[in-house]
């Protein structure tokens, strides 16, 4: 048996690889992927509209009970003092902010119209909460309170309209 020096075997090996590799007789190494595939390659899952509707309904009912059944009743109570009225209005604002946080947390992935409706409602509610905060600051002046109350009513109307749009889109109204 005869032995070839390693350099000749190396040359023969490269020649064999070249002959077997590509139609042109040259080979190119297969590129190894260096990056992970992008997330865009897989479509994002779409949120379940029923889950969003349930979450929204739960948040709204909690807010409505706390704000309307407790805080507004306190505000409208006969003989309520200025500080108690101010506290009740400010508590209504806190209730609204809790509602905002709850609906902001809803997963609306793949539901752009619902996401836009919720965003519009959040904006309307922020305006309402701002007006309510201003109202609370003016409870010690009947004139100022009444002036701000008109602004608050306008903001309430905008919130009510935005809420109606969202609840319709979620199938929560007939």
Please report the DSSP string for 37-48 in residue order.
Answer: PPGGGSPPPPPP
Provide the mean pLDDT of the chain: 81
Domain, as residue range, for 69: 49-169
Secondary structure letter of residue 39 according to DSSP: G
pTM above 0.85, yes or no: no
Residue 163 scores a pLDDT above 60: yes
Specify the pLDDT at position 1.
36
Q: Is position 63 within any domain?
A: yes
Q: Is position 136 within any domain?
A: yes
Please report how the helices 49-64 and 82-104 are oriented relative to each other, as an axis angle in degrees rounded to 10: 170
Confidence grade of residue 29 (pLDDT, cut at 50, 70, 90): low
Residue 167 scores a pLDDT above 60: yes
Mean pLDDT of 24-33: 52
At 36-60, the pLDDT tens digits run 555 555 556 678 999 999 999 999 9
At 136-151, the pLDDT tens digits run 999 999 999 999 999 9
Report whether 108 contacts 115 (CB < 8 A): yes
Q: Is position 108 within any domain?
A: yes
Q: Is position 91 within any domain?
A: yes
For the chain, what percent of residues have pLDDT higher than 70? 74
Q: Is position 160 within any domain?
A: yes
Specify the pLDDT at position 18.
46
Token match 């992008």: residue?
38
Number of domains in the chain: 1
Q: Is position 26 within any domain?
A: no
And the tokens for 10? 């190396």
Confidence grade of residue 169 (pLDDT, cut at 50, 70, 90): very high
Question: How many angstroms separate the CA atoms of 81 and 102, rounded?
Answer: 32
Specify the pLDDT at position 10.
45
Mean pLDDT of 78-105: 93
Q: Is position 107 within any domain?
A: yes
Question: How many angstroms separate the CA atoms of 41 and 50, rounded?
Answer: 27
Confidence grade of residue 13 (pLDDT, cut at 50, 70, 90): very low
Q: Is position 84 within any domain?
A: yes
Confidence grade of residue 70 (pLDDT, cut at 50, 70, 90): confident
Question: How many angstroms separate the CA atoms of 71 and 87, rounded?
Answer: 9
Residue 119 scores a pLDDT above 90: yes
């Amino acid at each position: 048996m005869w032995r070839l020096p390693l350099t000749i075997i190396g040359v023969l090996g490269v020649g064999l690889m070249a002959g077997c590799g590509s139609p042109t007789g040259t080979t190119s190494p297969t590129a190894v992927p260096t990056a992970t595939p992008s997330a865009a390659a897989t479509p994002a899952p779409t949120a379940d509209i029923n889950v969003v509707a349930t979450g929204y309904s739960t948040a709204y009912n909690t807010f409505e009970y706390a704000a309307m059944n407790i805080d507004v009743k306190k505000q409208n109570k006969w003989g309520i003092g200025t500080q108690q009225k101010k506290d009740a209005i400010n508590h209504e604002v806190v209730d609204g902010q809790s509602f905002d946080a709850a609906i902001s947390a809803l997963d609306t992935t793949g539901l752009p119209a619902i996401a836009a409706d919720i965003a519009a409602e959040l904006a309307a509610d922020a305006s309402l909460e701002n007006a309510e905060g201003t109202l609370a600051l003016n409870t010690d002046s009947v004139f100022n309170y009444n002036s701000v109350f008109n602004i608050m009513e306008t903001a309430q109307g905008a919130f009510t309209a935005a809420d109606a749009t969202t609840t319709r889109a979620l199938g929560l109204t007939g």
